[in-house]
Structure 1
């Protein structure tokens, strides 16, 4: 059974969501990030980066949200959320998961923590992150317009769960991801899944329901 170290609404959300969607046994271990529990010596032994999520699989702690998305979807290939090796869409699937990690999740962190780059020019860092995020939404919306409704066309994949989580993260930004029409449609489809309601109930979330 998996053990997921999580904090409500954090990057652990997509891993939790996939575990629910896949219907696989797992236990949740809440990490109190407000109390800096993720920086405790006990947690750092599991994840030296001091962030969530961490997923323990057969006694092995694993981290990095994008890697966990790929790992969980591959481990439960029977659900069809990850194109298999040799599938023509495998490369596109890997491309999208890593693209989301690099072009959205990375600048989103800078939006919230611009001081990590330059505390004296935090507003400049934050504005640059916002522009990068919005340009990425523009490209993703154009892709979905031409090739949607999901990132792999008619085929739902774990990458779409990841994308929906990142859209949720921008809900309070000047222009959130769901303001683009084709991204809004993908968000609507993902939020209509029964697993999304279960996720929200278990994590105690209400915004962007």
Structure 2
């Protein structure tokens, strides 16, 4: 059984979501972020970065949301959400996972936590917003081209993958930006499809989330 150290709505969300979607036995261990439990010695012994998620895998702590997403999709579900290493779409799948971390997640963190740079908060947010919107434009264009070519509505075309779960989490993080990601038409359609999954409703129920529902 897995044990997930999490905080509602954070980067642990996608890992929690996949645990539910894949029907994997797991235990949830809440981390009090407001009380800075993630910076305490006990938690830092599990995850020296002092962030969530941390997932106990066979008793060993593992971290990094994108890595855990790829790991769970590879290990479970008989390839339902991850092309196998010898699959022609494997390279595209990994490309999107890394692309999302670099081009969307990174500026989103800056937008939410501009003080991390110890610079002018508004200037940091303006720069981050420009990067986020540029990433959304590219992602929406990719999805639009895929639909126009008859390939399907997901990042891999007709094939749903863990990358779509990851993108949906990141789209949720844009909800307070002047232009949230779901206002782009093809990203909005992807969000609608992903939020319609029963696992998403169960995720929201367990984490006590209400916004962007």
The normalised TM-score by structure 1 is 0.98
Aligned position for 1:145? 144
> Does the CA contact (< 8 Å) of 1:19 and 1:26 recur in 2?
yes
Counterpart residue number, 1:156: 160
- Residue 30 (structure 1) aligned with residue 30 (structure 2): yes
Partners in 2 of 1:28 and 1:11 — Cα distance?
14
Deviations 1:2-57 (A, max 9, x none): 00000000000000000100001011000010000100100000000000000000
- Contact 1:168–1:208 (CA<8 Å) still a contact in 2? yes
For residues 112 and 201 of structure 2, the distance between their equivalents in structure 1, rounded to whole angstroms, comes to: 26
Q: 2:22·2:77 contact (CA, 8 Å) conserved in 1?
A: no
> Residue 176 of structure 1 is aligned with which of 180, 184, 190?
180
Aligned to 1:203: 207
1:43 corresponds to 2:43: yes
Matched-pair contact (CA < 8 Å) for 1:177–1:184: yes
Q: Offset at 1:77?
A: 4.4
- Name segments (4+ residues, structure 1) moved above 6 Å: none
Q: What residue in structure 1 maps to residue 149 of structure 2?
A: none
Alpha-carbon separation, structure 1, partners of 2:50 and 2:118? 21
Determine the C-alpha separation between the residues in 2 that align with 1:149 and 1:199: 23
Equivalent pairs counted in the alignment come to 208
Q: Which residue of 2 aligns with 1:116?
A: 116
SS in 1 for 2:45: helix
Judge which range, 156-165 or 74-83, deviates more.
74-83
TM-score by length of 2: 0.96
Task: Quote how far apart the aligned CAs of 1:115 are.
Answer: 1.6
1:104–1:133 contact (8 Å) kept in structure 2: yes
Over residues 72-115 of structure 1, what are the superposed CA-to-partner deviations in whole Å (9 max), with x where a residue is unaligned? 10111415100001100000000101111111111111001112
Counterpart mapping for 1:119-134 below 5 A: 119=119, 121-134=120-133
Rounded to whole Å, the distance in 2 between the matches of 1:96 and 1:137 is: 13
Deviations 1:164-197 (A, max 9, x none): 0000011111000000000000000000000000
**C-alpha separation in 2, matches of 1:18 and 1:79:** 13
In structure 2, the gaps of 5 or more residues are 147-151
- List runs of 5+ in structure 1 lacking aligned partners: none
Contact preservation (8 Å) 1:11, 1:53:
yes
Aligned position for 2:68:
68
Distance 1:32 1:79 in 2: 34
In structure 1, the residue corresponding to 2:4 is in which secondary structure?
strand
